[in-house]
Amino acid sequence: MAAVLIRPNAAQKSRLRLFVIQAMVLALFLTLFARLWYMQVLTGDGYRAQAASQSVRDVVVQPARGLIVDDMGRPLVANRSSWVVSIDRTLLGKLPAATRDTTLQKLHRVVHVPLAEIEARILVCGQPNAKAGTCWNGSPYQPVPVARDVPQQTAVKVLEQAEDYPGVLAQQESVRAYPSPYGVNAAHVLGYLSPITEGELDKADKNDDTSVNGASVVGRAGVEKAYDGYLRGKPGYKKVAVDSMGRVLGDGGEVDSTPGDTLVTSIDSKVQADVEKQLHAAIMTARGTFDKVTGRNYAADSGAAVVMEAKTGRIVAMASQPTYDPTVWSGGISAKELKQLYSEKSGTPLLSRATQGQYAPGSTWKPFMTVAALSNGFSEGTQLDCSSGLQVGNRWFKNYESAAYGYISFAKALELSCDTFFYRVGLSFWQKYGSDPANVKAKDPLVTTAKDFGFGSDTGGDVTGAASGRIADRKWKAAYWKAMKGYYCRVDRKNTSNQRDFLHVFAHEFCLEGFNYRAGDAVNFVIGQGDTMVTPLQLARAYSALSNGGKLMAPQVAKAVVSPDGKLIREIKPKVVRKISSKKSAIAYVDNALKGTPKEGTLAWKFGGFPLDKVQLRGKTGSAEVYGKQSTSWVATYTKDYVVIMVITQGGTGSGTSGPAVRKIWENLYGIKGEKVLPSKAALPGTTPPQGLPTFARDGSILPPSTKKKGE
């Protein structure tokens, strides 16, 4: 039987296609429902959390910076609240261009900040048109401060009318305040703060340092810089829920910030205020005094004073003039104000003359040269001629500070500040060790001793930015000649008319043989003239070594770091840099000899009636000559408790200008009234600085340390 082929008709074909389509649609729906079930049921919680997180912003909560207090617990630097207006760049960027422009226009009118400045501040550093120092160097997602220290009513207006200021935040932050006990300034000791730089932020990120962020401020000078890591604290974070327009809907939790630690310093407010007052008074007196040499009043354009504990190297007071108001940095400094701080016309007030000012030491240098001489061949019985002058080579070196006294001892030479006596000392060493002027390796005990007393190098300690001064020895002169010979040789070559003024004569001699260390250099060096430079801080610690028997101390401003709840974190103990290698007998001889200066020497006319038998004061004056300027006034004094140094540039003689002010500082330190010493009237209880630390009570109050000595 033959097979029969049955072909599906058209109706059957249609039903088959419909079935396939129905199956495909059903499969698609099943897949869709399965995916929806997976997303909404199985993994719904995760997606909901992600969606919620997109409406939550992390806002950094800056910590309160730690206090800085004096030795008695009096606040030198504290904090106050300041209203800050910031812009959330992310939310601002989501707004239509017209709304964004309108918002910024409204904001600039209400906070009184130029529109161009606001726009410059919200540019992230690295973007086109971003200007260094103005652009935002923090996270692009962090609100950018555009106005600080705004009035409270302005901040409240921004908060209450949030719909008019989308993406704009107003909140309080802590900024520096200066209680100024007894009217102290202490700007150069305390230092200042400024915003963290992009480079510093990158470095912190690499080191996993979470204590800073784009809105942080960091210490730039003084103890604010030296102890910034302790003072800055640690920021917290607050989660804020916002809508698409940037309006705050509520808080979503907060990680509290950790306030900075308290720094206890050795500065005493009473002494600091008095030192600032006396330095200013001495400068003003000098400006009213006629200078017979130049035929005009003294310019007295700057000055500095240091009070140091002789045994420990701790700074009790340190003043510099010109100075500035430290509050100028609080809440941000304007370009005009910053320019004023750097202005030479204003006297460069940002420069600390006590630590960065470098001056020829004049006769205050002679005690260290005496120690060098007595440790290297000269004896305490040596007598040299204090003549009216001394011929050295082709130059007559005159006796600037004293008359001719014939043959005298080292002690008498210090007392009278006889230049020619010390010329002979310097000439003797030059003839013995270095008569070859081109020998840069020649032995020089005077230079060695000066370096041993810390001159020509960093002072160390916690005084930031201190200059190292300069020892003008053979090596320095050779290096200077190599660096400058091109310039001076050009000046000499161009002098075709054979001009004989100082510059052209100097240029000719310098070009020919400026590398030679001649006898004239040696005699200038020994009296603190020539190219040798010291800072007042260096001189203070060198005199403290004379006082304490030969220990060179590291200058310290801080005594301790204390936690916000009053617990001792770190005690900063005095540090001995080294022991002076000179003979102890030489140091003791100079120490005893310097008692004669206020009794019968160059300071005597300013210390008449001072109770020197009860307060055994040692001292040395100096009047350093500076080419083209009036002389620099120096007074260096000390007891076994303190060292007091004062310098006034273009101020005249040491004793005449600085002497009266230094005397008043001593009277305040010891409670001297007339010829009586009244410890109860002294600036510091017990006359000397407290050994202990202030007590930090739980209620936030600070109590002064006990005045009892150890063993009492």
**With 90 as the cut, is the pLDDT of residue 482 above it?**
yes
At the fourth CATH level, the homologous superfamily of domain 269-473+517-681 is DD-peptidase/beta-lactamase superfamily (3.40.710.10)
Please give the average per-residue pLDDT across 324-344, as a whole number: 87
User: How confident is the model over 236-258, as a mean pLDDT?
Assistant: 69
pLDDT score for 135:
80
Residue 257's pLDDT is: 86
Q: Where is pLDDT greater, at 400 or 313?
A: 313
Cis check: omega of the bond before 322, within 30 degrees of 0: yes
C-alpha 319: how far from its chain's center? 13
Backbone angles phi, psi at 220, to 5 degrees: -115, -15
pLDDT at 50: 52
Q: 58: pLDDT confidence band, cut at 50, 70 and 90?
A: low
Give the mean pLDDT of 196-224.
87
537 versus 700: the higher-pLDDT residue is 537
* pLDDT of 519: 94
Is the predicted pLDDT of residue 94 greater than 60, yes or no?
yes
Place 562 in a pLDDT band, splitting at 50, 70 and 90. very high
pLDDT confidence band for 129 (50 / 70 / 90):
confident
Residue 647 pairs in a beta bridge with: 304, 634
Amino acid at the residue 555 = P
Whole-model pTM: value is 0.87
Q: Within its chain, how far is the Cα of 282 from the centroid? A: 24
Give pLDDT tens digits for 277-317: 999 999 999 999 999 999 999 999 999 999 999 999 999 99
Q: Which two tokens stand for residue 355?
A: 């630590």
Angle between helices 519-526 and 419-433 (to 10 degrees): 130
Q: What is the pLDDT of residues 594-603, one digit of tens each?
A: 999 999 999 9
Mean pLDDT of 8-25: 70
Strand partners, 150: 83
Q: What is the DSSP letter of 119?
A: H
What's residue 195's pLDDT? 83
Q: Enumerate helices (H) and strands (E) in the chain, giving the number of each.
A: 23, 29
Provide mean pLDDT across the span 350-362: 97
The answer for residues whose C-beta is within 8 angstroms of residue 386's C-beta and 6 or more apart is: 399, 402, 404, 405, 406, 407, 408, 412, 413, 416, 418, 420, 421
Q: Is the pLDDT of residue 682 over 70?
A: yes
Both tokens assigned to 193 = 């703060």
Mean pLDDT of 312-341: 91
Strands annotated E in 256-344: 262-265, 290-291, 296-297, 302-309, 315-321
**pLDDT, mean of residues 231-237:** 90
For all residues of the chain together, what is the average pLDDT? Answer: 90
Residue 3 pLDDT > 60: no
DSSP assigned state of 556 = B
| Residue-by-residue DSSP string for 636-675 | EEE-SSEEEEEEEET---IIIIIHHHHHHHHHHHHTEETT
Could you say which DSSP state residue 470 is in?
B
Which alpha helices (DSSP H) does 130-268 contain, by range? Answer: 152-160, 187-190, 198-206, 222-226, 228-231
pLDDT at 429 over 70: yes
CATH number of 57-265: 3.90.1310.10
Measured CA to CA, the distance from residue 333 to residue 341 in angstroms comes to: 11
pLDDT, tens only, 442-462: 999 999 999 999 999 999 899
Question: Closest Cα to residue 449, out of 372, 551, 370?
Answer: 372
Q: How far apart are CA 481 and CA 509, in angstroms?
A: 11
- How far from 83 is each of 63, 94, 214, 292, 612, CA to CA, in Å? 15, 26, 18, 56, 56
Q: What is the pLDDT of residue 19?
A: 74
pLDDT single digits (tens) 20-49: 777 777 777 777 777 767 666 656 565 555
Mean pLDDT lowest for which of 210-214, 356-360, 419-423, 654-658?
Answer: 210-214
What residue segments make up the domains of the chain, in order of their start?
Answer: 57-265, 269-473+517-681
Question: Mean pLDDT lowest for which of 240-254, 279-293, 353-367?
Answer: 240-254
* Three-state SS annotation for 76-93: EEEEEEEEEEEECHHHHH
Q: Higher pLDDT residue, 350 or 333?
A: 350
For 154-180, write each residue's pLDDT tens digit: 999 998 888 889 989 898 888 899 999
Give the whole-angstrom CA distance, residue 625 versus residue 157.
Answer: 62
Return phi, psi of residue 175, to 5°: -125, 165
Which of 149-158, 176-185, 232-241, 532-541 is predicted with the least confidence, judged by mean pLDDT?
232-241
Residue 408 to residue 431: CA distance in whole angstroms: 22
* Spatial distance between the Cα atoms of 331 and 339, rounded to a whole number of angstroms: 17
User: For 214-238, what is the mean pLDDT?
Assistant: 91
Helix, strand, or coil here: 406? strand
Six token digits for residue 524 = 């200038």
Write the CA distances from 474 to 9, 419, 535, 538, 539, integer angstroms: 120, 22, 21, 21, 22
* Interval 613-657: pLDDT, tens: 999 999 999 999 888 899 999 999 999 999 999 999 999 999 999
Lowest mean pLDDT among 85-89, 137-141, 196-200, 602-606: 137-141
Q: For residues 76 and 498, which has the higher predicted lDDT (pLDDT)?
A: 76
Residue 687 vs residues 177, 309, 374, 642: alpha-carbon distances, Å: 30, 12, 34, 10
